Amino acid sequence: MWFALTLILSAALVHLHFWWRGKLRAQSRQQAADLAAGQRQQQQQRLDAQAQQQVLFNSMLEGLLLLDKNRRINLANRAFNNLFGLKLELRGKTILEALRVHELEALVQRVEAEGQVLEHELKLPEFSERWLQVNAAVITNAAGEREGTILVFHDLTRLKQLERQREEFVANVSHELRTPLSLIKGYVETLLDGARDNPEVAERFLKIIERNANRLDLLIQDLLAISALESGKVTLVLQPTDLRPLVEKVFNDLHSRAENKGVKLLNELPALTAKADVNRVDQVLANLVDNAIKYGRVQGCVSVGGGETGDGKLEIFVRDDGLGIPTAALDRIFERFYRVDKARSRDQGGTGLGLSIVKHIVQSHGGEVRATSEPGKGATFFFTLPKA
Ligand code: ADP
């Protein structure tokens, strides 16, 4: 009886033991699963936060570089990689290993010493003269200890280019104005010193003064036109414009200039209607035909022609049979004050601004302008306009 009772009790206890162990095991399995899920969730959250951070940093226009306290790269955003032309993973590298820009390494040392450096300008000559502005500061923890350095890079290249262009423009304008002005001054002084007593000499000098005053006038008109076009103040009055009669009008305006040089003017344009500002297109044609006469051959021929391009545009050309333009200069002739032959241009009363005015006007119509030339055989200028 006792034996049976003991046996039943032991069996019950064994059963209880196994039941309890099973329960404990299930519980710990559940805990482990919960723990793993928690860790996974935490890790996922961390990854999500990192990805969000990366998206945020990559959407910045400024380059961002984060260094740890050992000056190793912790993070570099997309703009930074683009600024420095980098494609490799930079994490863990030093500035010198990753970029080889000694000035930047020196800047980081300065930031560590001073806490922050603002608006430091950095030139990267190996990237076709790229200019950067760097703002940098030390990152510290709650205890005030240095944790790393943050550097923000702003691309100044465009700004520097504009600054240089403006300086060149001012220098060019001053130079262009000074030449006729000093001639006028010189001849006026000579007249006052007694030359006026000789009517023949006086007349010759006065004619020179008149020519140079006209030149100044022309230059100032062109400068005002350029500045109005560049500031975007010019509003185009777009309307259906018949080009053939417009070419005829321009030929009439320039008739005497062509005749003086024995140049034949040919209007070969078919009936084309552009959606354009008639006065501005008049200016474009006048500049191109005037140049074609100026730089064309004596007893030569200037023709205007064109047609539809097929993509809703019209292409007009002005062709001469003069000296032409050296291939190397073809891209540059649309720049302000660029001339292939300075003396020749000035002799002909050129300001060096005509083609850049042409380019501005055509571009403001959404068109394009280009030139082709076979040196010695003439030049052809093409421009496009939207079809009406
Ligand atoms: P410019 O007042 O000197 O004529 P433009 O801007 O009209 O100024 O032209 C710039 C330069 O382009 C000229 O100085 C000249 O060297 C060259 N050029 C323009 N048109 C022609 C052409 N039809 N044939 C040869 N050279 C030309």
Tell me the CATH number at 128: 3.30.450.20
Cβ atoms of 218 and 351 within 8 Å: the answer is yes
Q: For residue 268, give the DSSP letter.
A: -
49 in any annotated domain: no
320 in any annotated domain: yes
The residue whose CA is least distant from atom 11 of ligand 1 is 339
How high is the pLDDT of residue 375?
85
- Please work out whether the CB of residue 300 comes within 6 Å of at least one atom of ligand 1: no
Query: How many other C-beta atoms can be found within 10 angstroms of the C-beta atom of residue 280?
Result: 23
Instruction: Mark whether 273 and 176 lie in a shared domain.
Output: no
Tell me the CATH number at 345: 3.30.565.10
- Amino acid identity of residue 68, one-letter, is D
How many angstroms does the Cα of residue 211 sit away from the middle of ligand 1? 20
State the Cα–Cα distance between residues 331 and 111, nearest whole angstrom: 45
Best CA proximity match to 327, nearest among 275, 379, 276, 290:
379
How many independent structural domains does the chain possess? Answer: 3
pLDDT tens-digit profile of 206-225?
Answer: 999 999 999 999 899 999 98
State which residues form the domain around 62: 58-155
Best CA proximity match to 262, nearest among 297, 305, 288:
297
Cβ atoms of 297 and 290 within 8 Å: the answer is no
> 276-280, 336-340, 378-382: lowest mean pLDDT where?
336-340
Rg value, the chain, Cα: 38
Cβ atoms of 152 and 136 within 8 Å: the answer is yes
Instruction: Mark whether 220 and 241 lie in a shared domain.
Output: no
Average pLDDT over every residue of 22-31: 76
* pLDDT at position 2 over 80: no
- Please work out whether the CB of residue 380 comes within 6 Å of at least one atom of ligand 1: no
How high is the pLDDT of residue 360?
94
pLDDT tens-digit profile of 70-112?
Answer: 999 999 999 999 998 888 888 899 988 888 888 999 999 999 9
Asked whether the CA dihedral 69, 73, 75, 81 is positive or negative, the reply is: positive
- Please work out whether the CB of residue 353 comes within 6 Å of at least one atom of ligand 1: yes
How many angstroms does the Cα of residue 214 sit away from the middle of ligand 1? 19
Percentage of residues of the chain with pLDDT beyond 70: 94
For residue 270, the Cα-to-chain-centroid distance in whole angstroms is 37
189 in any annotated domain: yes
How many angstroms does the Cα of residue 45 sit away from the middle of ligand 1? 65
**121, 136, 155 — which closes off a domain?**
155
How many angstroms does the Cα of residue 246 sit away from the middle of ligand 1? 22
* pLDDT at position 1 over 60: no
* pLDDT confidence tier of residue 11, bands split at 50, 70 and 90: very low
- Please work out whether the CB of residue 286 comes within 6 Å of at least one atom of ligand 1: no
* pLDDT at position 6 over 60: no
* pLDDT confidence tier of residue 20, bands split at 50, 70 and 90: low
How high is the pLDDT of residue 202?
95
How many angstroms does the Cα of residue 295 sit away from the middle of ligand 1? 7
pLDDT tens-digit profile of 167-184?
Answer: 988 898 898 899 899 999
The residue whose CA is least distant from atom 13 of ligand 1 is 339
262 in any annotated domain: yes
Is pTM beyond 0.95? Reply is: no
* pLDDT confidence tier of residue 35, bands split at 50, 70 and 90: confident
Alpha carbon dihedral 183, 184, 189, 194, in 10-degree steps, equals 100
How many angstroms does the Cα of residue 291 sit away from the middle of ligand 1? 6
* Ligand 1 site-directed mutation target among 289, 301, 345, most atoms within 8 Å of CB: 345
Instruction: Mark whether 182 and 65 lie in a shared domain.
Output: no
